[in-house]
Amino acid sequence: MSRNGETDQNACNFNDFALVRIDDADKGRVNPTIPTFGGPSGLRDTSSGLGNNEPIYSYGNSVLRQGLTFLSPKYGLNVATQNGGWDHNTYTFTPGIPGDSGSGFVDRQGRAYGVLSTLQFAPRPFSNGVADLPLALRYLRTRSSDFPNLRLVPGTAPFRVALPGLGSLFGGGAKAASQRSVTLKDLKA
């Protein structure tokens, strides 16, 4: 970003966001619903940050977990909002690991606020850095006219906090269209 003239170091260091265009033919094969939790229900206004110790939720599906799906739902707390609001430092019961990057994070109302960006070792060991989604979207909209209709697509199931490991006892959390991982290679098939 600095090569393109960006001088805000926080924007350069913490604006970790990528877009994937879904071909119209593949839209029925993907679903924005967060497995276990449902949602997202909308986009959170993060202009005043997230509260310290505010509950947060996510879902990671790294192959490094070797199919242990009970480790995929993430329950945790926001520890700090820092770096000009671009970075939310979080702790979850099972931290995001390589392969979870890009996982969405939502607040207790199911509102999307961030995207998993980093696994940190200092100053907070095994915490995750979560890039601020509203800031990233605002940044994109103010610097590009290529995405005039860009928006967050809500999940097809309502957001609900499911207790770890107990979801199936009480009717389960939300199910995405498919709980298996779908890769870009799958979509080309």
CATH code at 40? 2.40.10.10
Split into its structural domains, the chain has a count of 1
* Band of residue 182 on the pLDDT scale cut at 50, 70, 90: very low
Partners of 81 in the β-ladder: 88
CA 65 – CA 97 distance, rounded (Å): 9
**Residue 143 domain-assigned (yes or no):** yes
**Residue 7 domain-assigned (yes or no):** yes
132 or 175, higher pLDDT: 132
Burial pattern 22-44, b for ≥16 Cβ within 10 A else e, equals eeeeeeeebbbbbbbbbbbbebb
Domain that holds residue 56: 2-177
**Residue 187 domain-assigned (yes or no):** no
**Residue 114 domain-assigned (yes or no):** yes
**Residue 184 domain-assigned (yes or no):** no
**Residue 183 domain-assigned (yes or no):** no
**Residue 32 domain-assigned (yes or no):** yes
8 A C-beta contact, residue 59 and residue 97 = no
Predicted pLDDT at 183: 45
**Residue 42 domain-assigned (yes or no):** yes
Question: What pTM, to 2 d.p., does this model score?
Answer: 0.83
**φ, ψ dihedrals at 108, nearest 5°:** -70, -10
pLDDT in tens, 98-148: 999 999 999 999 999 999 998 887 778 889 999 999 999 999 888 888 888
